[in-house]
Amino acid sequence: MSLADQRYVELQVTSHFSFLRGASSPEELLTAAAMLGLPAIGIVDRNSLAGLVRAWDAGRSTGVRVINGCRLDLYCGTGLLVYPTDRAAYGRLCRLLTLGKSRAGKGGCELHWDDVATWSEGLIAILIPDSDDAKTQADLVSVSSIFQERSYLALTLQRQPGDALAWHMTGPARPNSPNSWPPISPPIACPTLWRSTRGSLPTRRLCPKWWSS
């Protein structure tokens, strides 16, 4: 069974429009997704929608659907993936980003939960649980109260270079530090997606049903 048959979709793909975080262009990402047989991918750059026009054009040429979105890095440290469900919601997301960038100045974006609540209508949100349990629990309360049935929690398999080798090593010869594990080769079928993750295996998330509507 192919990835497409399993309806797997990568919802957090960062392009080189996320400065110092993404390495691949939207065209490269969509081409790689087509090579893997993915039906769609979600482009979510950091506090930016800059790559979506080029991603949309690449999606038309490759046949891979682009799920328009953005990663919001809030001032409190919370990460949210947001996806507009219609044109009006896309406009509200643009207004939200404009507000954050006007506060922080060039290259920055300062947003708070109150700002998100004000412009949340029509947006689907996925909380990224990158904080400790106490903060994640508080963030869950916030995201569920704001987005209600349009709120989700990301499930991420954390992978590091050398994990596959480490899992098969036994006995006292196994290194104690992940940094000492030799790196494994990137997937041959998809060098672009490997490069875009800056040396770690791509994370995989469960795909909510809404993406196919």
- CA 119-125-131 angle, to 5 degrees, is 110
pLDDT of residue 161: 74
Tokens 């790689």 — which residue? Answer: 32
Cα torsion through 63, 86, 211, 139, rounded to 10: 140
pLDDT of residue 106: 82
Alpha helices by DSSP H, listed for the chain, are 26-36, 52-62, 87-104, 113-118, 133-147, 163-167, 191-196
pLDDT of residue 162: 75
> Across the strands, what pairs with 67?
42
> Across the strands, what pairs with 23?
none
Which residues of the chain register pLDDT less than 50? 1, 3-4, 170-213
